[in-house]
Amino acid sequence: MGYYALVIVLMLFQHHCASRVSGNIQVPALFVFGDSLVDDGNNNFLQSIAKADYYPYGVDFYQGSTGRFSNGRTIIDVLCDMFGISYLPPYTSADLNGTRLLSGVNYASAAAGILEESGQFLGERFYLNQQVLNFQSNINDMRTVLGGQSMLDQFLSKSIVVVVIGSNDYVNNYLLPSLYTSSYYYSPQDYANLLLNRLSRQLLALHNMGLSKFLVAGVGPLGCIPSQRATGQGPPGRCVDSVNEIVGFFNRALRALVQQLNSNHPRALFVYGNTYAALGDILNNPSAYGLRVIDRACCGLGRNRGQITCLPLAVPCANRSEYFFWDAYHPTEAVNAILAERALNGSPSDCYPMNLRQLAQLSLL
């Protein structure tokens, strides 16, 4: 038996065992595109202000401060645990080659947006188009390790793409009129259409490279994050409703885009992740999820601990499992775990037209 054939057999055996652990879910790999909500260390290697490679980030993560914008696991890490695959290497990992590619890769980058200019004042980042190009740069290595185009096609068709992006196109673009002119030139609806037009191109580029199963997450209720609450634009103790209304245009258009893509591309399946509704349910019923604090960050300074985000060596709250928000922008591991569970097993109100478990079991060959 040749080397590559042996590698393939061993990997199939490992994934078979892993799938038994995770309830017969057959997923060879996850490929992740997005922003700081799912970045697991890519920005560590970029000239960027948007970094999380210092304590207390990772205070509850077994590897410590890896660049994850959380006290612990991201939603991607939780999904990896559920699927029984290894945590994904960041694209910028020095040893990203060979079999390391075969559990998937995380291309997400903090401060990244769908638009190239979003978040640019924070420094280097891989915006969405660049992330797609980064994936393309890994394809030849995957083909070589798997032993040819046919095996690559099967591998990619069974893998799942997770896209979590769009927040920075609002928080670090449209909602910053002092730095960006987008809100002067575009109505909320027109801006959402602009974003979805660009996003659609990148999704189809990935599909054309062989990927077939997509979870595309909507934008959460940004008016409820500590940094927006700290602006004082909303009533005391309330989310900033005007921001949530703006985000609503994007989410409605994204759901419609998913329906359109599924109609036009029968050899692929696109799933809309209703992040807004899932997070809204948690915010409206925190005690049902074991949470107590929903209006301020666990780590940060100023009003709602959201005016200055978590700084190096800051002392975070002790009862992190009771907090919704870790810092000015990101949820705690506790919330990430809830989101992952709803993505995997949720109803069509969470994931439309199917959840990740159903997507994983679907054959598109």
Nearest to 106 by CA among 51, 29, 49: 29
Count of C-beta atoms within a 10 Å radius of residue 149 = 10
Query: 3-class SS at 149?
Result: helix
Structure tokens at 344: 């995997």
Place of tokens 């068709």: 157
In three-state secondary structure terms, 272 is: strand
How far, in Å, are 116, 117, 186, 305, 330 from residue 166 at the CA level? Answer: 12, 12, 16, 23, 14
Q: Are 226 and 296 in contact (CB under 8 A)?
A: yes
Q: Which amino acid is at 181?
A: T
Question: Concatenated DSSP letters for 206-238?
Answer: HHHTT--EEEEEPP--GGGSHHHHTTT-S-TTS
CA 289 to chain centre: 21
Q: What are the two backbone dihedrals, phi and then psi, of residue 144, each rounded to the nearest 5 degrees?
A: -65, -45
Residue 249, token pair as written in the block: 């245009």
Nearest Cα to Cα of residue 130 among 111, 108, 152: 108
Q: Write the single-letter amino acid at 11.
A: M
Q: Are 183 and 242 in contact (CB under 8 A)?
A: no
Please give the DSSP secondary-structure letter assigned to residue 172.
I
First to last CA, the chain: 27
Query: Which residues are designated catalytic?
Result: 36, 327, 330
